[in-house]
Structure 1
Amino acid sequence: MNVRICMKRLAAVEIDPSLSNQHEFNAGRLRQELELAGNPCKGRIDFLFYLGDDEAPVTETERYTLYDARLNKPRAAEWRMYYTNVGISEHARPDDLMLLFRPDRSSNDLVAVIARHGTEIERALSLDLAGREPEELVGMFFADSEGLNPRTINVLLQVLRRPVPQVALEEYDFAQHPLLLGAVSRGTMPTTAEMAAAAQSIVADTGVTPEDPDDFIDSSLAAETALFKAIELELGNRKLAAIPDDDRLNFDVLQGFFMTFLQSRRARRGQSLENHFRYLLNALRIPHSYQCRTEGGKTPDFIFPSCESYHDPTFPDDRLRMVGCKTKVRERHAQWLDEATRIPVKYALCVDDRLTDPLVLRYQNRLRFFLPRGLLDSIYTKRRIHPLLGSVAQLVAAVAH
């Protein structure tokens, strides 16, 4: 993620309807820095209000209009941003820190993160972006997001989620993908690493990025599955057609034929989630070690911040994290619980739509499960265990600290 971010403290006249009915910001420099064109320029603002360090953020969506208040007048232009005042007046307070940025260059829609004055979130944003304590941040300040540390990235990325472009995936011509053509030419299935890389490239073409962790994992798995099925279908049809006419298609012949493809499916699915999560961590620059060897020769999927930290007795236990990946949990939870003994609470990333209440409740103090947001919303919203489950974005935030 690399965007230009405006930082400013909110003034009472900008948020309190009893003091001003204009609901405006002076926006001349803002227009220039965020490269907003048009007169007027209109769009949406997605607000994320951090009202306390231990509270979930409150979200609101409003509209804005950026215009020249002196249009057709002899004096120089005076750019102002007018916004609807429903959410901001209810949640924001004078001196709160606001970050305003444009996440997508193809749209005039904006994102605003507002952190309550005096919170640790406000201090983290001020230090990471401006390199100064909150009290030193006055006026309007602009910063480039490139090089942000993971803590700040994860504050920002929670409002950057966009719906998964399912139509784009459905319309993708998997039959013409270079990986499929190469597999047909060789007569063999691609490796799991090749499949993962191809899926990530396809997902990038649809507009989903690692800054949307839940959508990225969901879309990557969907793209890889669709591409795999396209390759499998083409290879299967060709191999089936190549069986000599004089061979009897008895049970043994058919069983051997299909077992070859079933084994390929199992091998790929077992590593695909790991591959995509690893790519996500690297893209977000979150330090980690993959397949770190711990006690008794065990190798957890991911250790944070590093394998070296895990084996350093002076490194605090409470700063270590472990994540195990498995599409379907089944009995894997017993293995996770037995890995990385320095870490009392393990994390598990899965896409399992059959997690049982007894399993999650039984291990709630030892093993926490994380799933893509779409799966959480569609399967677990009304379940008793829903409060104990987390999204991929929440997992990313947890391992980044």
Structure 2
Amino acid sequence: MLDSVSEIFEGAAAKYLSVVDSDSSRSNQHEIGGLPSVGFKRYLGTPGKSDEYRFPSLMAYLTDEEEAELCQDSVTWYDSRRKNPKRSPEYRLYYKSNAVTDQIQPTDFFLVAKKRDGSLLLLFTPAGSSVEFQLRHLFGLSDVDKDFTSASMPTQTLILPIKMLLEDLGVQAFDETEAQNDLDMLLARFPDKLPKTSEFSAVAREVTNFDCVTDPDVALLGWMEREEALFRAYERHIVSERLRFGFGPAGDDVDEFITFSLSVQNRRKSRVGHAFENHLGFVFCEHRLPFEKGGGSRVTENKAKPDFLFPDFKAYHDSSYPISKIFLLGAKTTCKDRWRQVLSEGDRLDRKFLVTLEAGISTTQTDEMRAKNLQLVIPTGVHGSFNEDQKRWLYSMSDFIEKVRAVHSSS
């Protein structure tokens, strides 16, 4: 079981990039200095005058609006004064031009982390983004400025949203061996292919002991994490089997392999959203809340399909039904800019709700949500990634359930 970030990384440090760090026209090379000041030589070593240490690196440029730009490359750790033996060493990290580093700008947040497998993770994101907040929470970086700050590497257990962020960056954060004991059971139940997501979600609830009536926040996160572990164990099995047979008649059809790879990636992305809705629906049923899911003829204006509407769509379209008793809840495992979609899904309602698993959403985003009268609902286990002012505003799952129950207790 992966309990903390220190099980994946030896150490990390972060800063806001200067012009010299990020603009090759202002520097002789693409290089970043200052890491020795936070003790990073213990992770990267001390190259001599004739040495250069190269590290395989996963780089990513991340924003709140778009998919991450990822690149596998290498960086060089060396003494920039090695040709001048009379001067004391000055160690710098040299990077090459690639699809990631060509995007970086002065003031961007930059984090470098040394993985326990010997490679590096280099992450860049615009300052003030939600991604920055998430990374600072993950690595324990309270204060960051133009000089490097060393990460405190918190010991708390990695929560599901942070694991999902790491997985999106190509860092294995789920311990698939945890579900190996259940793999035989899964293969016995579903020997031929992956089942529908609803069936997989039901299995995840069956093999855990969470009580969603007593604590829906803990149950929702627990079920989601368990289902993710089960799914990845099953997926590893079926993908391994498929790879063993190869692709095409000769086993080396590149186009067929790419098609298969894309199908695996797309399935991961769509399945987690469906799983989230499955578990939410189960929670609402267990709490005996009246609700309907959008879809088919269940629509609001402009054929919008809200994820959940309380009590139902008939009430929504009944102009005599009290607006105060109608609740619209969007559900997105991660919001990014997609949270605005919820705003247009129910014109009758001034206030709408959005439940998400995303950690550390920036204050810029949450301030805009407040201004648009969109109330964020987040399981309590994720609240620690937000600042104190945000925490006072957030709803937990229990808060939302009580809000709905208060006006539908007799339904």
Superposition TM-score, scaled by structure 1 size: 0.53
Q: 1:255 to 1:280 in 2, by over 3 A?
A: same
Q: 1:374 to 1:170 in 2, by over 3 A?
A: farther
| Aligned residues of 2:328 and 2:353 also touching (Cα < 8 A) | yes
Aligned equivalent of 1:270, options 270, 273, 283: 273
| Aligned residues of 2:248 and 2:256 also touching (Cα < 8 A) | no
Q: How far does the alpha carbon of each residue in 1:146-199 deviate from its partner, in whole angstroms, 9 at most, with x for none?
A: xxxxxxxxxxxxxxxxx9xx9xx986655345334343x21x221111111111
Q: How far does the alpha carbon of each residue in 1:295-348 deviate from its partner, in whole angstroms, 9 at most, with x for none?
A: 111111111122221111111112211100010012222210001111111100
Rg (Cα) greater in structure: 1
CA distance in 1, matches of 2:202, 2:276: 12
- What one-letter code is carried by the residue in structure 2 that aligns with 1:191? K
| Aligned residues of 1:210 and 1:283 also touching (Cα < 8 A) | yes
Post-superposition offset of 1:214? 0.3
| Aligned residues of 2:343 and 2:374 also touching (Cα < 8 A) | yes
Backbone CA RMSD of aligned residues: 2.7
Q: 1:349 to 1:244 in 2, by over 3 A?
A: closer
Aligned equivalent of 1:217, options 204, 217, 220: 220
- Which structure 1 segments of 5+ residues have no match? 1-162
- What one-letter code is carried by the residue in structure 2 that aligns with 1:293? V
Q: How far does the alpha carbon of each residue in 1:17-38 deviate from its partner, in whole angstroms, 9 at most, with x for none?
A: xxxxxxxxxxxxxxxxxxxxxx
Match of 1:343 in 2: 349
Post-superposition offset of 1:246? 7.7
| Aligned residues of 2:210 and 2:218 also touching (Cα < 8 A) | no
Q: 1:255 to 1:174 in 2, by over 3 A?
A: farther
Identity of aligned residues (%): 24
Aligned equivalent of 2:196, options 191, 208, 214: 191
Q: How far does the alpha carbon of each residue in 1:232-267 deviate from its partner, in whole angstroms, 9 at most, with x for none?
A: 011011111122798364653442332121121112
Matched, 1:229 2:252: no
- What one-letter code is carried by the residue in structure 1 that aligns with 2:224? L
Match of 2:4 in 1: none
| Aligned residues of 1:325 and 1:348 also touching (Cα < 8 A) | yes
CA distance in 2, matches of 1:400, 1:170: 40
Match of 2:39 in 1: none
Match of 2:35 in 1: none
Q: 1:324 to 1:362 in 2, by over 3 A?
A: same
Match of 2:138 in 1: none
Q: 1:230 to 1:170 in 2, by over 3 A?
A: closer
SS where residue 348 of structure 1 aligns?
strand
SS where residue 323 of structure 1 aligns?
strand
Match of 2:375 in 1: 368
Q: Give runs of aligned pairs for residues 2-401 of structure 1, distance below 5 A.
A: 173-176=180-183, 178-183=185-190, 185-186=191-192, 188-203=193-208, 206-243=209-246, 247=250, 249=252, 251-291=254-294, 292-365=298-371, 366-377=373-384, 379-380=385-386, 382-401=387-406
| Aligned residues of 1:196 and 1:272 also touching (Cα < 8 A) | yes
CA distance in 2, matches of 1:236, 1:328: 26
CA distance in 2, matches of 1:305, 1:221: 25
CA distance in 2, matches of 1:355, 1:294: 28
SS where residue 230 of structure 1 aligns?
helix
- What one-letter code is carried by the residue in structure 1 that aligns with 2:390? I
| Aligned residues of 2:334 and 2:358 also touching (Cα < 8 A) | yes
CA distance in 2, matches of 1:209, 1:172: 22
Q: How far does the alpha carbon of each residue in 1:266-318 deviate from its partner, in whole angstroms, 9 at most, with x for none?
A: 12012111111000000111111111311111111111122221111111112
- What one-letter code is carried by the residue in structure 2 that aligns with 1:216? A
CA distance in 2, matches of 1:271, 1:211: 24
CA distance in 1, matches of 2:225, 2:247: 35
- What one-letter code is carried by the residue in structure 1 that aligns with 2:185? P
Match of 1:155 in 2: none
Superposition TM-score, scaled by structure 2 size: 0.52
Post-superposition offset of 1:388? 1.9
Q: 1:244 to 1:277 in 2, by over 3 A?
A: closer
CA distance in 1, matches of 2:322, 2:230: 43
CA distance in 2, matches of 1:296, 1:352: 28
- Which structure 2 segments of 5+ residues have no match? 1-156, 161-175, 407-411
- What one-letter code is carried by the residue in structure 2 that aligns with 1:370? V
